[in-house]
Structure 1
């Protein structure tokens, strides 16, 4: 299929064509864009000078000197990608294509507060940069996922229920004291949706990612765009009411919330009521792996409860793919069976005719991939690339060095 020609624009627009990693000649780029060869040549020279594009060998010659080919150079800079969960932190260094260069997972309680958690993240990030053979000056940006509502425009958490001390905290300013680069912060489920779709479902523009863990939430991608809503709370499935939960009190103060019925702590509490010892979600996973029938039945019912809510969402948003992730998704066949049972029974036939419900492929790397993608979408946008080039090599990506 021929490539769509970008709108007329500068080197930043031309660069978007090269972001797929495929090498092209100046002549191919001129043909695709309709720009003059001289215009393409000058823009490629600018991209070469800042390191975003590098030489990629020579094309086959039709007589005379073989033409040079060029491709995106994702190694020119790196991204610090951070997934902060309720009880863990994952920190990774990726290149600009999202390839993980170094990674570390740490046990860390988010309730320790923003300074303690972010100090540990920054210390680990700088250590990983060194391990990857990179310097702090190589960082193009920092992407952070948090386990609570986030005002994306400012990066400030908004009344996060499991994050005492974080409400309104200026995460961006705090991180930029150590790393003066763009810092982007979002809800963890939103970046999971970005990461999973980019890595494994790029051809699907209407996509839902459902995280089932200590909390329950969803990342919504509609017409290819992540939907955050007016205040950043779009996709908060955990506090949608489940029909059978009239007498189950949720920590939010309401009765019958999905999170109070189907999250890891809720399932552990239900098993305790049945006489099976379980303190948290990981105990439920262990019991399921051991073949405990009560744990399997509880997990399958959780799938049905999630399916009850998703059936409405499917009718409303008509996604083509729903991906189930989070810690409870790791023993996915039982949870998935319950979800499918209800969604396919309760949703409209037209909405489910081509609907795929799948387990996460990226697993516990989903949020890291999404945090990296969130940063690269920002720093490699046409406007950002133009600003870099106009800064004469002093901007965000503008040092002429390439690695690897």
Structure 2
């Protein structure tokens, strides 16, 4: 939380944006790093860093780095200096949380969700619950930096709007940002859940991998790309929609999108559940599929392995195009482990050239209760601490200090 306004040098704080951005991005984690990365004089760096430390925006951690003399402490953004609000819309519930700048959960709650309610009513209830969480978080974490929303549907990221076809019937082109920003008064970020899961895996588990593919195999099928260290979205945010690539055949199944032969209609959780139901097994979704797999039902195991090969077939085309060094497979169906993964590996190594697969790793994601929620937090942090936006962030903290 921001310290007393008499502590920081507010004039130095006003010019400290570049220093804060370097620390937040971990491009510089020590005073010597800041000198080298910023190109500023030692006196200027000392003055601006001092203002950030006094304001409580940056802290010295307990970790040290060798410096040729006395070890220097590692610098980091103070996790308690501010907070974020994030929400993830699922099939039947919305998971909401207030998070610090680590990010880590401070407070969280869950509210029911029904598509039939429509966007206006849903976002109204969501805004009210987020506002309640903000009221509690402000006492210990001061300034709210932004709101991030994860949606299980294609999203035009630049405009923050759902674009059809979508499982969120009635949400197409609704102005989500205006609705939430008007209620909460801070920047709002809206993104597809798979892109956020991809961002989570990159930031938390594979920060050194700059080119990776994340595949979500759950009720639906989707993917996200990290290209040169950034989420690749494409022109309208539709990149990675592998679930609706079509494999035509005489018996091509009907997809939820209205087309025939989509990957999702062959390999998604709902499609496997459909096939199991036809065989007489009670199954409605991906969770039911995994329940039958875990109970060693041969038909479920066979269909999951077949789904892995279908996903591997489309993933092999993606590997040939974007040449990732890592593929991470997550989602509910990934709980099937090697049953799913072996089919994916088989088709990728069978169809791709050796150059593309020579150093390629294909792994399962570690189970995470709500990785999209953490991905939403990283999305906010990456933007507000960017060099383009850091001046706005500093101005907000200076304003808070002056009002204190």
Settle same-fold status: TM greater than 0.5. Answer: yes
Corresponding residue SS for 1:363: coil
1:189 to 185, 189, 194: 194
In the alignment, is the contact (CA less than 8 A) between 1:209 and 1:218 conserved in 2? yes
Corresponding residue SS for 1:382: coil
**Normalised by the size of structure 1, how large is the TM-score?**
0.86
1:323: which partner in 2?
A: 328
Question: Cα gap change, 1:134/1:271 in structure 2, threshold over 3 Å: closer, same or farther?
Answer: farther
CA–CA distance in structure 2, aligned partners of residues 364 and 305 of structure 1: 26
Corresponding residue SS for 2:237: coil
Question: Cα gap change, 1:55/1:319 in structure 2, threshold over 3 Å: closer, same or farther?
Answer: closer
CA–CA distance in structure 2, aligned partners of residues 195 and 316 of structure 1: 23
Question: Cα gap change, 1:320/1:21 in structure 2, threshold over 3 Å: closer, same or farther?
Answer: closer
Corresponding residue SS for 1:79: strand
1:53 equivalenced with 2:58 (yes/no): yes
CA shift digits 1:347-372 (9 cap, x unpaired) = 11111111111111252321011100
2:259 to 245, 254, 261: 254
Q: CA RMSD in A?
A: 3.1
1:4: which partner in 2?
A: none
CA–CA distance in structure 1, aligned partners of residues 378 and 391 of structure 2: 19
**Normalised by the size of structure 2, how large is the TM-score?**
0.86
1:113 equivalenced with 2:118 (yes/no): yes
1:148 to 153, 157, 170: 153
CA–CA distance in structure 2, aligned partners of residues 67 and 229 of structure 1: 42
2:276: which partner in 1?
A: 271
CA–CA distance in structure 2, aligned partners of residues 45 and 287 of structure 1: 59
CA–CA distance in structure 2, aligned partners of residues 245 and 358 of structure 1: 33
2:319 to 283, 305, 314: 314
Corresponding residue SS for 2:312: helix
Q: Which moved more, 1:77-86 or 1:181-190?
A: 77-86
1:172: which partner in 2?
A: 177
In the alignment, is the contact (CA less than 8 A) between 1:245 and 1:261 conserved in 2? no
Corresponding residue SS for 1:323: strand
1:5: which partner in 2?
A: none
In the alignment, is the contact (CA less than 8 A) between 1:237 and 1:309 conserved in 2? yes
Question: Cα gap change, 1:44/1:215 in structure 2, threshold over 3 Å: closer, same or farther?
Answer: same
Question: Cα gap change, 1:296/1:66 in structure 2, threshold over 3 Å: closer, same or farther?
Answer: closer
CA–CA distance in structure 1, aligned partners of residues 256 and 71 of structure 2: 68
CA–CA distance in structure 1, aligned partners of residues 267 and 155 of structure 2: 23
In the alignment, is the contact (CA less than 8 A) between 2:328 and 2:364 conserved in 1? yes
Q: How many residues align?
A: 387
- Residue 256 of structure 1: CA displacement? 0.8
| Structure 1: gaps (5+ residues) | 1-9
- Residue 30 of structure 1: CA displacement? 2.7
- Residue 72 of structure 1: CA displacement? 1.8
